[in-house]
Chain A
Amino acid sequence: MRAKLQCHDVAELIEQEGLSPLPEAVGEHVAICADCQGLVADFNSILTAAHQLPAEVEPPARIWISLHAQLAAEGLIREEVAVIQPTRRAHWWEAFSGLLQGRALATAAVGLLIFAAGVVQLQRNSPVSPAESAKTQVQEPDALVDSGAALNSQEHELRAAEPAGTLASSSPVDDDLQKNLKTLNAFIAECQHHLKTNPRDQLAREYLAAALQQKAELLAEMMDRGRSVN
């Protein structure tokens, strides 16, 4: 004889198996439980509302790069924490942003990312012997390095895509943006060079992360201007 479901079992089963169709055992319980009927009705309302939302524009890559740079700078993520392991040699946020077409998925993914960061943080807080720590440090790919590489790639794409656009334009604003891009690139190179010899310099990592974030925003601005006429 099957044990009777409790309300908390229903919520758990819906979470695992979804709403349509309702699992048989859940259906039996919901038929006689007013609270769970309300719960299912709420879920259905949310789903209906979600389906009516307009299609979401794909979030720009800079969002993921900024997020990634910030988390990396704070030591909250390491490269092995990547939520999605791409089979080809692609950056995780590329695959990530490709997935994120819908509002619900985006929310879920960000939640997952934060959860992953939290797990890593907990792992970091657990006692590790100095030898293990040093070993890990050597083996870890640096997330900031990857962020920098991704932004360089974006910069090259921007140059390739708009040979006569923003990067080649002579408007004062475009000139200013290019000048700032050079400033940032020089500063990023300086920080990266320093971090090669002092990989644990937290202050340098913070400045590098901030500069990468600024570069992501700058490239986004340049792209926007390339799309507009000015």
Chain B
Amino acid sequence: MSLRLVGRSVLPVLGAGIFLWPVAPALAAPQHFEKHFTVKGKPVVVIQNIGNGRIEVKSWRNPEVVLTGTQASNKISIESEQAGDRIGVSSNLIDATAQPLEMEADFQLTVPEETELQLKTQTGLILVEQVMGDMTLESVAGDVHLKEVSGYIIVTTKSGSLICTQCAGKLNFNSISGSAQLLQPALSNVNLFTTSGNILFDGDFVRTGLYTMKSGKGLVEVRFSSSDSFDLNAQTATGTVDNQAADYLKPDSHGLKHIAGKYTKSFFGTIGQGLAKVELSSYSGTIRILKRD
């Protein structure tokens, strides 16, 4: 192939490439940021992420909040403020032409062990570990993973799922299609609702605890241990009840008369002394209760 031929075939391609260069969307290199906030008492940290991205929160013993992270482009800005022990962080759109990928921002927070959190993102994981304090966590499609956290925990998602491992305190979960898994919990008050997701409770029921778990179409599964003590009320409108713990359930003897609804399939019973109260329901899914060990 002569040089002239090569030139004829390559040059138009190069020319077109140069011509189209500004049109093709190009992502700039991610920009890193880091900020330090000294706090005195129990801080309250609010992160409002308008775009997508992960939020990770871990704790340490220092009276300082450290925020690090990356932003995908300069079409968003990361702003923060501190007023005493309140710290606010937000990502803001500064270029209306930004594409979803250009609006991503990932946050890593290191906070004192006792910290209140209010976190919101669109997609991307919210991960919180070893933090004690009330927290409100909101996501559209991102999952929420909590490990060894305690406080009054409110999690709201549209399709993101929750995995809560060794959580304590009170938990309120609401989702359209997200699922919830509570593993080895020490929660005294649980309120879970999902329209089409599944629910798994695998752990002990705190005595005097109140537990309500509802799924519109999904599976609601409870795995209890022989040392548990709770009154159980399970009902479904058009679904099924899979009671694999019939041998352990005694009739409820706490004075409340349970009458199965005309339209629902339900069962009631007591495990142990019935000190906690567990209400399970599914509109059209399955309710399964089984002994763990």
Residues of A within 8 A of B (CB): 171-173, 176-177, 179-180, 183-184, 187, 190-191, 194, 198, 200-204, 207, 210-211, 214, 218, 221, 228-230
Q: Is the CB of B237 within 8 A of A180?
A: no
Chain B residue numbers with a CB within 8 Å of A204 are 237, 263, 283
Q: For the complex formed, measure the closest distance between the CB of B61 and the CB atoms of chain A, giving whole angstroms.
A: 37
Q: Is the CB of B195 within 8 A of A210?
A: yes
Q: For the complex formed, measure the closest distance between the CB of B199 and the CB atoms of chain A, giving whole angstroms.
A: 14
Chain B residue numbers with a CB within 8 Å of A229 are 93, 96, 98
Q: Pick the contact of A173: B52, B177, B237 (CB < 8 A).
A: B52
Q: For the complex formed, measure the closest distance between the CB of A161 and the CB atoms of chain B, giving whole angstroms.
A: 19
Are A203 and B237 also in contact (CB < 8 A) when A179-B159, A211-B216, A221-B140 are? yes
Q: Pick the contact of A184: B100, B140, B176 (CB < 8 A).
A: B176
Q: Is the CB of B140 within 8 A of A187?
A: no
A176, B176: Cα distance in complex, Å: 11
A210, B283: Cα distance in complex, Å: 11
Q: Pick the contact of B51: A202, A207, A230 (CB < 8 A).
A: A230
A221, B159: Cα distance in complex, Å: 13
Count how many chain B residues have C-beta atoms less than 8 Å from C-beta atoms of the other chain. Answer: 34
* Interface residue SS majority, chain B: loop
A176, B100: Cα distance in complex, Å: 13
Chain B residue numbers with a CB within 8 Å of A203 are 235-237, 261, 263-264, 281, 283
Q: Could you list 19 A-B pairs, sorted by A, with CB under 8 Å?
A: A172-B100, A173-B52, A173-B100, A177-B140, A180-B176, A183-B176, A183-B196, A184-B176, A187-B195, A190-B283, A198-B263, A202-B261, A203-B261, A203-B283, A204-B237, A207-B216, A210-B216, A211-B216, A230-B98
Give residues 28-55 of B contacting A (CB, 8 Å): 50-52
Chain A residue numbers with a CB within 8 Å of B283 are 187, 190-191, 203-204, 207
Q: For the complex formed, measure the closest distance between the CB of B173 and the CB atoms of chain A, giving whole angstroms.
A: 13
Q: Is the CB of B50 within 8 A of A230?
A: yes
Chain A residue numbers with a CB within 8 Å of B141 are 172-173, 176
Q: Is the CB of A187 within 8 A of B96?
A: no
Chain B residue numbers with a CB within 8 Å of A171 are 100
Q: For the complex formed, measure the closest distance between the CB of B133 and the CB atoms of chain A, giving whole angstroms.
A: 25
Are A214 and B100 also in contact (CB < 8 A) when A180-B177, A202-B261, A229-B93 are? no
Q: Identify the closest chain A residue to B215 (Cβ).
A: A207
A187, B123: Cα distance in complex, Å: 24
Chain B residue numbers with a CB within 8 Å of A211 are 195, 216
A214, B216: Cα distance in complex, Å: 12
Give residues 245-293 of B contacting A (CB, 8 Å): 261-264, 281, 283-284
Q: Identify the closest chain A residue to B238 (Cβ).
A: A194
Q: For the complex formed, measure the closest distance between the CB of B253 and the CB atoms of chain A, giving whole angstroms.
A: 25
